[in-house]
Structure 1
Amino acid sequence: MKIKIYFFSIIGLLLFSNSFSQQIQLDSLDLQIRQIIKDFEIPGLSIGIVRNDSIIFTKGYGNLEIHKERKVDENTIFGIGSISKSFTALTLGILVDEGKIDWDDKVKEYLPYFELYAPYVTDNFSIRDLLTHRSGLKDVSGGTLWYHSDYSRKEIIKRLKYLEPVSTYREKPAYQNVMYVVASEIVKTVSGISWDNFLKARVFDKLKMNNSTSLSIERESNRNLAQPHIWNEDYKKVAIIQEKGDNLAPGGFIYSSAVEMSSYMRLLLNNGAIGNDTIVSPKIINEIFKPQIIYPIGGTPFYNEFTSYGFGWWLTPKNGHKIIEHSGGIDGMSANLVMIKDMNLGFVILTNASKEPAAFLLTAKILEKLFNDKSYNIYSRVMDYRNQNLKKKKEAPIQISKTPKTKPSLEIQKYAGKYSDKMYGDILINYTESGGLEISFSHSQVFKGKLEHRHFDTFKIDWNDIRVPNGFLTFNFNSKREILGFSIDQENLLDVDFGELNILKNKN
């Protein structure tokens, strides 16, 4: 049963480690949370803290949606982003525990249609490889396949064969989302039910995570749902409609609450058991939390040269402890979950604003107190960087407007036609009734916008959806001045890289 304790009734309650004299006063933490929310304009935030197999604190702050009255509480569901990957690893672990699969089984044994660019890699790619980001692909490869697309998980997997690697298989890590989609389909094949139903029956129901879900239809029916927020073109926070995300749920689209994620942490910290129920054996938990590949990312204070990746978790030695954590981000949402297993302590932070360091900074504040480590005192530095970055973005349109204009090589209507990328599919350039051009991706409604001529054969893309930053499109020609195709140059979206597309004009 959840124990709910409010700040004003626990001024004397302290979190502490036996090996640390430094203590965390929760009333002080409350003030810091409110300061972060104010400084970074966070609409809503929820936090949960567990210690010694108990949920000792959960609380919500702010609003479900900006300028609306409904408040966030400890049961409000947020997108947890890539923390979803750990759930996929756990579902596979349950099947390993039952002897139905092995971590080193070949993917091809379960999914005959699975194919990567190189035949050797296809034949040898294992379940362990899926979970540890060592495919040889570039970071977040294949993002255009799932982002706001109508492609199913199976169709996404079938199109992975067109993604060209940038390094040798198992040579070095590069973060992936699509491989966790592959992992979920193995669960489906072996169990005979969808990954979503398996997750619900074998994890959510067992942990009484009744509001947690990987399905958009269930998420949207929850009245206590936090709405995502982003910056608009005037750099004001606005609420947006969340994409369905079902096709990437195994890698990034589970929704949950601070209370229910706290139950999840209890399970993991207690070696796979909760109450009298064992979900998975300690052996599986140990394998999930074992360094599988050295993967240093970023730098101090959170990561170092010994940082590694397990199965859906970053693992970093720090001050004699092993920090187990993962962040998560989708459009309009960001989250962070941290566990320190030998202290039997964990905390989760959920927010409904993306590209803001609120969860990151709150994590730093808590770790600073736990470890009495001033290297985590990065508040002013992060705030300065964020404000400078915002200033640059606000000034960018002024710089773009000074770009000299020339005439295009062809009459405008001659740029229209059907184009395609062999991985993604068709991309249309239409000549509109108003005499302009419009781009639209056939499987992703979010990628639709107007083209405005800028310079020679380069056009500015004014995307219709505010979450997609404006970019540039340049048509390519052969020696006969026939259009071969075009390239897109713009700021990458969250986990979407347009640079990996090779867009050619259809000959017919």
Structure 2
Amino acid sequence: MKHSCSLPAFAIALALAACASHPPASANAQRPAPGAPQFDAIFQDVMTRYRLPGLALGVIQDGKVVYTRAAGEVVAGSGQKIDNDTLFKIASNSKAMTSGVLARLVDAGKLQWDDPVTKYLPQFKMHDPWVTQNMQVRDLLIHNSGLREGAGDLMLWPEPNLFTRADIISGLQHLKPQRSFRSGYDYDNLMYVVAGEVAASAAGISYEELVQRELFAPLGMTRCQVGEWNLEQVGNVAQPHMRQGDGNTVIRKDDPIVPVITSAAAGGIRCSLNDMLTWMRMWLNPGLKSASGVPWLSSTQRDALWSAQMPMPISKRQRAWDGSRFNAYGYGWRISDVDGVLRVAHTGTLAGMFSAVNLLPEKNSGFVFLINGDGSDARAVLNSLLAKQLTAPEKGQPVAWYADQLEAERASVPAQNRAPDTSTRVPVSASFKQQGIYRDPWFGEVSLCARGDTVDFVAAKSPGLHGRLMQVGERVLVDWYDDSVDAEAWLTFAPVGGSTTLTMNKVDPDADFSYDYEDLAFTRVRACP
């Protein structure tokens, strides 16, 4: 049965009315554009408190860019300053670009939102044949597949890996749903990869070519990159960082040739602050016009993208900080309210890269910021505090207040929801009985084999998932060699018939959902070489 909860943005607005000792981070900052001094203070406080390697921020009011500022370095300690043209990974803010390109194809009559996915990808299969036949293009964008949150994300991250988009389409049939199709919201990246391939099929060119042709070129977003590109030729590219002690260390540094990545449609586009501001001003323009004055999208399709398609839960923090009374997902955008003002927004998260885009259409205003470090808390603070400055500045609190609230929130997490103490860990011995080659139907093979005095976990198609097996009491976990892979996994073995099965789950229950170990189901297929 088809489930839809679609409410146009203007109707949402009517409903709301009825509801009646560190060095200064600015030492190498690009000179701020003229703007309200409160933005400078917020920028500086967040940069300093969270010791960010780099931050770029832009604010739009009444359709005009009133403030920009960039500070920090593309690589910590390099001396190469971040500016308004520095490229950042925008992560899941790519989703709105994917849905926008699809909307352009709808405007052009090349596809319809209610077309079956199999019309464009005959090889597409879900676990349930009925879902396969009834999955529409629109369903790919609203997180209603029934799969577990982040299901199959281990085919996307950690990067680089050897999974292709064909692997993802093939692997979907092996991912078992946790709820009925269209019955609820669970964030899903794989469906956006499929959506990108649907768009490519409808257009007759690759996803990367399509984004260049339909988005970057007409809007004049000259710095944005997707697909393969030369790092030195493009230049000025922020690298991701993780915190180590009091400093920031580069992780997953780009190769000289940045390759095409499987996750592009879900989270693989890179853009500069200036280009993101161009993107936002188009959305806030009543005629949806590009810099050249030509409409980029019809108002009908903007209404479709900004319609509430799937209800989302409202967190305690959203209610307390933002005064939110509704929360939903549209096509590539989150639709909610801040102090009674409509917000159309999204965030982006990748290892060492955090971002947020906020549009306040009723105010003709918005903001964007890009971070190239461990910026989870910094993003939470900036997202609420900047929105407050544009909706109800008299209700705003200082950065320290928001930061202290986050600390208190963490301290209140029940013990059973925290990572357990695993400090007694010791390497398993080379005689570990469960050694062997194991296979999962969508993730492929992993080896658990002795290497010298230890036993290593090695994923054949995901080189970043390489670690050492450790004994913690009666349990076994895998400790990844790459520190940027920051979610260890418990391993559970069980005899089934004449073989052995292996399942995995997160050691830290609060680890990022994209480490979807719980979706893996391995069977031992042969002995170690």
Q: Provide the TM-score with structure 2 as the length reference.
A: 0.84
For residue 11 of structure 2, what is the aligned residue in structure 1? none
For residue 183 of structure 1, what is the aligned residue in structure 2? 195
Is 1:86 paired with 2:86? no
Asked if the contact 1:83/1:337 (under 8 Å) is kept, the reply is yes
Equivalent runs, 1:79-118 vs 2, <5 Å: 79-118=89-128
For residue 323 of structure 1, what is the aligned residue in structure 2? 343
**Distance in 2 between the 1:381 and 1:9 partners?**
27
**Distance in 2 between the 1:429 and 1:39 partners?**
42
Are the structure 2 counterparts of residues 286 and 421 from structure 1 closer, same or farther at C-alpha, using a change threshold of 3 Å? Answer: same
Equivalent runs, 1:155-170 vs 2, <5 Å: 155-170=167-182
Is 1:502 paired with 2:512? no
For residue 43 of structure 2, what is the aligned residue in structure 1? 33
**Distance in 1 between the 2:76 and 2:186 partners?**
35
Look up the SS of the partner of 2:212 in the other structure: helix
Asked if the contact 1:487/1:503 (under 8 Å) is kept, the reply is no
Listed one character per residue, the Cα deviations across residues 237-275 of structure 1 (whole Å, up to 9, x for unaligned) are: 311124767111111111101100010011111243123
Look up the SS of the partner of 2:229 in the other structure: helix
Are the structure 2 counterparts of residues 258 and 37 from structure 1 closer, same or farther at C-alpha, using a change threshold of 3 Å? Answer: same
Q: In the TM superposition, what is the alpha-carbon distance from 1:210 to its structure 2 partner?
A: 1.4
Look up the SS of the partner of 2:379 in the other structure: helix
Equivalent runs, 1:278-293 vs 2, <5 Å: 278-293=295-310
For residue 209 of structure 1, what is the aligned residue in structure 2? 221
Is 1:238 paired with 2:253? no
Q: Which amino acid aligns with 1:424?
A: F
Of 370-379 and 167-176, the range deviating more from structure 2 = 370-379
For residue 128 of structure 1, what is the aligned residue in structure 2? 138
Are the structure 2 counterparts of residues 448 and 204 from structure 1 closer, same or farther at C-alpha, using a change threshold of 3 Å? Answer: same
Are the structure 2 counterparts of residues 118 and 7 from structure 1 closer, same or farther at C-alpha, using a change threshold of 3 Å? Answer: same
Look up the SS of the partner of 1:65 in the other structure: coil
For residue 486 of structure 2, what is the aligned residue in structure 1? 469
For residue 256 of structure 1, what is the aligned residue in structure 2? 271
Note the residue ranges of structure 1 that are not aligned, 5 or more in a row: 1-5, 14-24
Match of 1:56 among 56, 66, 69: 66
Of 459-468 and 355-364, the range deviating more from structure 2 = 355-364
**Distance in 2 between the 1:226 and 1:87 partners?**
21
Listed one character per residue, the Cα deviations across residues 437-492 of structure 1 (whole Å, up to 9, x for unaligned) are: 11111110000012233334x33322111111363443423389964335344233
Of 68-77 and 301-310, the range deviating more from structure 2 = 301-310
Q: In the TM superposition, what is the alpha-carbon distance from 1:120 to its structure 2 partner?
A: 0.7
Listed one character per residue, the Cα deviations across residues 85-130 of structure 1 (whole Å, up to 9, x for unaligned) are: 0000011001100111111111011100111111111100011111
Q: Which amino acid aligns with 1:59?
A: R
**Distance in 2 between the 1:317 and 1:480 partners?**
54
Look up the SS of the partner of 1:246 in the other structure: coil
> Identity rate of aligned residues, in percent?
25
For residue 17 of structure 1, what is the aligned residue in structure 2? none
**Distance in 1 between the 2:376 and 2:444 partners?**
33
Are the structure 2 counterparts of residues 507 and 168 from structure 1 closer, same or farther at C-alpha, using a change threshold of 3 Å? Answer: same
Asked if the contact 1:110/1:189 (under 8 Å) is kept, the reply is yes
Match of 1:272 among 267, 288, 299: 288
Q: In the TM superposition, what is the alpha-carbon distance from 1:178 to its structure 2 partner?
A: 0.7
Note the residue ranges of structure 2 that are not aligned, 5 or more in a row: 1-29
Listed one character per residue, the Cα deviations across residues 270-291 of structure 1 (whole Å, up to 9, x for unaligned) are: 2431232222211111111111
Asked if the contact 1:461/1:470 (under 8 Å) is kept, the reply is no
Look up the SS of the partner of 1:420 in the other structure: strand
RMSD over aligned CA atoms reads: 2.9
Q: In the TM superposition, what is the alpha-carbon distance from 1:304 to its structure 2 partner?
A: 3.4
For residue 422 of structure 2, what is the aligned residue in structure 1? 400
**Distance in 1 between the 2:419 and 2:494 partners?**
28
Of 174-183 and 269-278, the range deviating more from structure 2 = 269-278
Q: In the TM superposition, what is the alpha-carbon distance from 1:219 to its structure 2 partner?
A: 5.6
Equivalent runs, 1:16-27 vs 2, <5 Å: 25=36, 27=37
Equivalent runs, 1:315-394 vs 2, <5 Å: 315-372=335-392, 377=397, 379-384=399-404
Listed one character per residue, the Cα deviations across residues 332-377 of structure 1 (whole Å, up to 9, x for unaligned) are: 0000111111221121101111343223322322222222256653
**Distance in 2 between the 1:33 and 1:155 partners?**
42
Match of 2:236 among 224, 236, 251: 224
Look up the SS of the partner of 2:442 in the other structure: coil
Asked if the contact 1:484/1:505 (under 8 Å) is kept, the reply is yes
Q: Provide the TM-score with structure 1 as the length reference.
A: 0.87
Are the structure 2 counterparts of residues 289 and 224 from structure 1 closer, same or farther at C-alpha, using a change threshold of 3 Å? Answer: same
Look up the SS of the partner of 1:200 in the other structure: helix
Q: In the TM superposition, what is the alpha-carbon distance from 1:180 to its structure 2 partner?
A: 0.6
Q: Which amino acid aligns with 1:279?
A: W
Look up the SS of the partner of 1:429 in the other structure: strand
**Distance in 2 between the 1:82 and 1:297 partners?**
20
Q: Which amino acid aligns with 1:255?
A: R
Asked if the contact 1:110/1:190 (under 8 Å) is kept, the reply is yes
Are the structure 2 counterparts of residues 420 and 30 from structure 1 closer, same or farther at C-alpha, using a change threshold of 3 Å? Answer: same
Match of 1:119 among 117, 121, 129: 129
**Distance in 1 between the 2:252 and 2:262 partners?**
17
**Distance in 1 between the 2:398 and 2:184 partners?**
30
Are the structure 2 counterparts of residues 96 and 337 from structure 1 closer, same or farther at C-alpha, using a change threshold of 3 Å? Answer: same
Is 1:192 paired with 2:204? yes
The count of aligned residue pairs is 481
**Distance in 1 between the 2:496 and 2:188 partners?**
38
For residue 19 of structure 1, what is the aligned residue in structure 2? none
Q: Which amino acid aligns with 1:237?
A: N
Are the structure 2 counterparts of residues 293 and 30 from structure 1 closer, same or farther at C-alpha, using a change threshold of 3 Å? Answer: same
For residue 448 of structure 1, what is the aligned residue in structure 2? 466
Q: Which amino acid aligns with 2:113?
A: W
**Distance in 2 between the 1:489 and 1:372 partners?**
40
Are the structure 2 counterparts of residues 381 and 495 from structure 1 closer, same or farther at C-alpha, using a change threshold of 3 Å? Answer: farther
Asked if the contact 1:7/1:30 (under 8 Å) is kept, the reply is no
**Distance in 1 between the 2:488 and 2:33 partners?**
52
Is 1:487 paired with 2:504? yes
Q: In the TM superposition, what is the alpha-carbon distance from 1:74 to its structure 2 partner?
A: 0.6
Q: Which amino acid aligns with 1:154?
A: A
Asked if the contact 1:330/1:494 (under 8 Å) is kept, the reply is no
